[in-house]
Amino acid sequence: SQQGEEDPQALSIQEGENATMNCSYKTSINNLQWYRQNSGRGLVHLILIRSNEREKHSGRLRVTLDTSKKSSSLLITASRAADTASYFCATASNDYKLSFGAGTTVTVRA
Amino acid sequence: DAGVTQSPTHLIKTRGQHVTLRCSPISGHKSVSWYQQVLGQGPQFIFQYYEKEERGRGNFPDRFSARQFPNYSSELNVNALLLGDSALYLCASSLLSAGGLNTGELFFGEGSRLTVL
């Protein structure tokens, strides 16, 4: 079973627009991470936010974390065609694994 | 520097056969994890190894086994293959935090895509 659930499952936007996706999880966490995957290839780490942080930025990415609601959001600003990919949230707790959601597929139209 | 490398990239097996997948971590990384990603789903944790010892195991049957070698490379073995084992198998390496908990960033390879017919 998967710890996180992303919403929406799929998202189609115009180049230049912002893309927002959400992640909900069930148990307490040490941190939450976002990864990108292009066409069934390997996952690439985007950003990590610790449980005591509320917001984090990295380039065009902005991540928020609300531990009281057990939810996180990833915002990609000024999207580009190269941002077309699947995005996964993953939670890290006091064990040896990351627990991934099912992902949000983002399509950026030129 | 080379990233995480996995081999083979693609393979086709028939039911009942066994398969061995290989992974070389980033130089300096002592931890290797294996994940299974079925089409349309997120990766599912299979194993984590650190310093040649199994540190964690996911909810997978005993047909799945792994090991880590002195040079920190790793093998994932799956016996008696089933159709449902068809998936992308991802290896990831990492620098473990103190205490050995795998809570930091994972560096993934491109995966081995297994098709079971």
Is the pLDDT higher at B54 or at B102?
B54
What pLDDT sits at residue A75? 98
pLDDT digits (tens, 9 = 90+) for B60-117: 999 999 999 999 999 999 999 999 999 999 999 998 754 555 568 899 999 999 999 9
Q: Which residues contact A93 (CB under 8 A, 6 or more apart)?
A: A27, A28, A29, A30, A99, B103
Q: Which of B58, B105, B107 sits opposite A48 (nearest CB)?
A: B105
**β-pairing, B74-78 with B64-68?**
antiparallel
Q: Which residues pair with A23 in a beta bridge?
A: A6, A72
Q: Do A44 and B88 lie within an 8 Å CB cutoff?
A: no
Say yes or no to pLDDT of B15 above 50: yes
> Are the C-beta atoms of residues A41 and A87 closer than 8 Å to each other?
no
Q: Do A45 and B45 lie within an 8 Å CB cutoff?
A: no
pLDDT digits (tens, 9 = 90+) for A59-76: 999 999 999 999 999 999
| Mean confidence (pLDDT) of chain B | 92
Q: Which of B39, B102, B106 sits opposite A45 (nearest CB)?
A: B106
> Are the C-beta atoms of residues B104 and B47 closer than 8 Å to each other?
no
Nearest CA-CA distance, residue A11 and chain B, Å: 15
What pLDDT sits at residue B51? 86
Give me the residues of B, 87-116, that contact A with CB < 8 A.
Answer: 88, 90, 92, 100-111, 113
What is the C-alpha to C-alpha distance for residues A24 and A84, in angstroms, rounded to an integer?
22
Say yes or no to pLDDT of B46 above 50: yes
Amino acid in position B67: R
Closest C-alpha among A57, A11, A53, A59 to residue A32:
A53
Alpha-carbon distance values, A99 to A27, A83, B11 (Å)? 11, 23, 26
Give me the residues of A, 1-30, that contact B with CB < 8 A.
Answer: 2, 4, 30
What pLDDT sits at residue B102? 56
Residue in A with minimal Cα distance to B87: A40
> Are the C-beta atoms of residues A43 and A90 closer than 8 Å to each other?
no
What pLDDT sits at residue A1? 46
Closest C-alpha among A78, A44, A37, A81 to residue A61:
A78
Q: Which residues contact A103 (CB under 8 A, 6 or more apart)?
A: A6, A9, A37, A86, A87, A88, B41, B42
Nearest CA-CA distance, residue B36 and chain A, Å: 11
Alpha-carbon distance values, B80 to A64, B26, B46 (Å)? 44, 31, 17
Nearest CA-CA distance, residue B79 and chain A, Å: 23
What is the C-alpha to C-alpha distance for residues B88 and B39, in angstroms, rounded to an integer?
8
What pLDDT sits at residue A96? 76
> Are the C-beta atoms of residues B95 and B4 closer than 8 Å to each other?
no
A59 touches chain B (CB under 8 A): no
Note down pLDDT in tens along chain A; length 110 residues: 456 788 899 999 999 999 999 999 999 999 999 999 998 789 999 999 999 999 999 999 999 999 999 999 999 999 999 999 999 999 988 777 899 999 999 999 99
B60 touches chain A (CB under 8 A): no
> Are the C-beta atoms of residues B21 and B112 closer than 8 Å to each other?
yes
Q: Which of B39, B55, B103 sits opposite A92 (nearest CB)?
A: B103
Nearest CA-CA distance, residue B96 and chain A, Å: 10
Say yes or no to pLDDT of B24 above 60: yes
Closest C-alpha among B97, B114, B99, B98 to residue B46:
B114
What is the C-alpha to C-alpha distance for residues A46 and A101, in angstroms, rounded to an integer?
15
Mean pLDDT of B23-47: 95
